[in-house]
Homo-oligomer: A and B are copies of this chain.
């Protein structure tokens, strides 16, 4: 499927194929924020201190606000937000079932590393959409300090428990594998997203380069945590 949309042109939404791709993109992003919110709040319950617990609940609340922004945009486009999110319930559920953190620190790393990969992908997709859609996506993708907090907490943990490093590095690699595998499943299922890339002029080389950028950024994130990728 190809689209004839010109990125940067809001009227492009009149093209049904392009609109379907944008609805998929906002839908997957909205459902991702909703599950990230629920996961973060759930994992906060195991936090070792009141300070970390409150901080994690705060990040969950931020993710909910970002979810609301995306729902508002879908509604504004005359789209039922629930219907837009529905196709992504099963793949997210599969990803989360396969990456259940066994501790709050694994939960935090998952939020940083797993969500990081997803958000990098959405940012890549941002160059194929109109300005208005991209503006909403940018606001929803704002990290709002979560990363700095997670990096600090994980580095502190590694200082007091250096043996954790190997186990947590392995955990990071597993997250990358599961994220890419579920992402691929979504891409196969929803050809609107692939159509967006192809319609936007991305050839196989460009798509390959995009995946290289995604794994490079994953390696950088792991490095910031003090872990090996």
Copies in the complex: 2
**Complex contact A34–B60 (CB within 8 A):** no
A28 to B65, CA, bound (A): 26
- The answer to the question of A61 belonging to the interface, with a C-beta cut-off of 8 Å to chain B, is yes
Residues of B within 8 A of A34 (CB): 53-54, 57
A38 to B53, Cβ gap below 8 A? Answer: yes
Residues B50 and A41 in contact, CB atoms below 8 Å apart: no
- Shortest C-beta distance, A196 to chain B (Å), equals 24
Q: Does A51 contact B (CB under 8 A)?
A: yes
- Interchain CA distance A58-B65 in the complex, whole Å: 9
Stretch of A82-90, A121-129, A168-176, A185-193 on the interface side? A82-90
CB proximity of A56 to chain B, nearest CB, Å? 9
Q: How many chain A residues touch the partner (CB < 8 A)?
A: 24
Nearest chain B CB to A90 CB, angstrom units: 12
**Contact digits for A6-50, partner B, Cβ 8 Å, 1 yes 0 no:** 000000000000000000000000000010011001101100001
**A104 / chain B contacts, CB cutoff of 8 Å:** none
List, in ascending order, chain B residues with CB within 8 A of A95's CB: none
Question: Is B61 within 8 A of A65, CB to CB?
Answer: yes
Set of chain B residues within 8 Å of A45, measured between Cβ atoms: 38, 42
Q: Which residues of B contact A86 (CB under 8 A)?
A: 50
- A85 near B42 with CB under 8 A, answer no
Q: Smallest distance from the beta carbon of A123 to chain B beta carbons, Å?
A: 24
**A50 to B, closest residue via Cβ:** B82
A60 contact from B41, B50, B53, B89, Cβ within 8 A: B41
Q: Are B53 and A64 in contact (CB under 8 A)?
A: no
CB of B38 within 8 A of CB of A57, answer yes
Minimum C-beta distance from A107 to chain B (A): 12
Closest to A51 in B: B82
